[in-house]
Amino acid sequence: MTYFDRRDSGLCAEGVPLPAIADAVGTPVHVYSAAALRDAARRFTAALSILPRTRTAFAVKANPNSAVLHLLAGCGFGADIVSGGEMRRALGAGIAASDIVFSGVGKTDRELADALDAGIGQFNLKLEEEEGRVLAALAQARGKRAVAVLRVNPDVDGGTHAKISTGQRENKFGVAIADAPAMYDRLSRLDGLDLVGVALHIGSQLHDLAPLEAAYERIGSLVIDLRARGHGITRVDLGGGLGIPYRVDDVVPTLDAYAAMVAGVTRDWDVDLIFEPGRVVAGLAGVLMTRVIWVKPGADRPFVIVDAAMNDLARPALYDAFHRFEAVAPDGERMVANIAGPICESGDVFALARDIDRVRRGDLAVFHATGAYGAAMASSYNCRPLSPQVLVDGDQFEIVADRFLPEEFAA
């Protein structure tokens, strides 16, 4: 089921015709569906219900909008954060500090101290032993103990785009699995730290369960090893990474298949399992609505220049990512065109030689599946404002982030 469907009034977000949002808010605009978010959260939780003792921490990096986080908190999700800014967003949205996992590859001393003061429930230690030592010292100075897990790099190729792959030896994330036992021994001796387990995350937009299963199996062997060394392992953080269908015919693992795989691999682990989904919860719950500025003749085919750009949706420029393009009120004709934004950068292109609904100057259209890593990755390049964000719920909508331009750009 999709929450962005065509009705007599054209393309709608739930019960709201998209032109009504364009009239009220302007374009470009990120539009989220509350029902789609709730539905994705509910399906994720339902699939995992075959597992004992699970907790879900939404990866805030995928969509840090406060209203979105608040909605997901209402669905029982905690948060997986990577910065002090994300921590403040999560806390501000009503997520309890104890339900927050602090990942992040380079946490500053200040961020660690603030997180300890806030009472963050789990620190995922990465990279260096130093991080554990600094955290332990900061905790001790506060008369506290920080609950932590060690992020391990299982050296498994997730089979995804190189720029969103994180679980191979050459990536910057996590401690090499071969080094993990000795490091765990040393970290576990530090006062101020309660080391309770391990974490992993091998990459994002994974469309195959096999690499995840291989990585989880390696972590299972590590858990056995660590227990044999006398460590009480009570928690394993399995990360996120599940892919979504960006193309209509993309095949991705079902949540039930994922849960069944996890149930099989973790059968004997006897631990609390933490999940950190981002894209699979928010990705399909958003579209980026844009207006065609003009259709410009090109050497081989026309360029459709839209008012959204790579500063609103960076994924095509960064990863050659595919986002489906659909006219809000198509006339039934098709055209083959390049779709580009107005930014002075050759990479500001959303699609090349794409067969799309015919559009003309002034028409509205959407890029689909932009609810994750869409507005989250926006910038003000070319002194363009950050686009507004709107949350639709039934036949109502509200602006949940205003169009924003730093003052010095506007002056």
Ligand X SMILES: N[C@@H](CCCC[NH3+])C(=O)O
Which residues are part of the catalytic machinery? 344
Strand partners, 288: 30, 367
Q: Which of residues 273-302 bind ligand PLP (CB under 6 A)?
A: 276-280
Q: For the window 3-22, what string marks contact with ligand PLP as x by the rule CB under 6 A?
A: --------------------
Q: Which is nearer to ligand X, 166 or 188 (CB)?
A: 166
Q: Which is nearer to ligand X, 103 or 188 (CB)?
A: 103
Which of the choices ligand X, ligand PLP, none does residue 241 contact, using the CB cut-off of 5 to 8 A by kind?
A: ligand PLP
Q: Rule CB under 6 A: is residue 204 a binding residue for ligand X?
A: yes
Which of the choices ligand X, ligand PLP, none does residue 265 contact, using the CB cut-off of 5 to 8 A by kind?
A: none
Which of the choices ligand PLP, ligand X, none does residue 315 contact, using the CB cut-off of 5 to 8 A by kind?
A: ligand X
Q: How many residues bind ligand PLP (CB under 6 A)?
A: 17
Residue number closest to ligand X, CB atom: 373
Computed from CA positions of residues 394, 309, 301, 369, in that sequence, does the dihedral angle turn out positive or negative? negative
Locate all alpha helices (DSSP H) within 105-198, ordered by sequence: 109-118, 129-141, 180-188
Read off the DSSP letter of residue 95: -
Q: Distance between CA atoms of 2 and 337, rounded to whole angstroms?
A: 26
Q: Distance between CA atoms of 407 and 383, rounded to whole angstroms?
A: 10
Q: Which of residues 71-100 bind ligand PLP (CB under 6 A)?
A: 80
Q: Rule CB under 6 A: is residue 315 a binding residue for ligand X?
A: yes
Q: Which is nearer to ligand PLP, 28 or 283 (CB)?
A: 283
Q: Rule CB under 6 A: is residue 131 a binding residue for ligand PLP?
A: no
Q: Rule CB under 6 A: is residue 126 a binding residue for ligand X?
A: no
Minimum Å gap between C-beta 123 and ligand PLP is 12
Residue 344 φ/ψ region, left for φ over 0, alpha for ψ in the -120 to 50 degree band, beta for the rest: beta
Length, in residues, of the chain: 411
Q: Rule CB under 6 A: is residue 165 a binding residue for ligand X?
A: no
Q: Which of residues 139-168 bind ligand PLP (CB under 6 A)?
A: 166
Q: Rule CB under 6 A: is residue 120 a binding residue for ligand PLP?
A: no
Q: How many residues bind ligand X (CB under 6 A)?
A: 8
What residues make contact with ligand X under the rule CB under 6 A? 61, 164, 166, 204-205, 315, 373, 377
What residues make contact with ligand PLP under the rule CB under 6 A? 59, 62, 80, 103, 166, 201, 204, 239-242, 276-280, 372
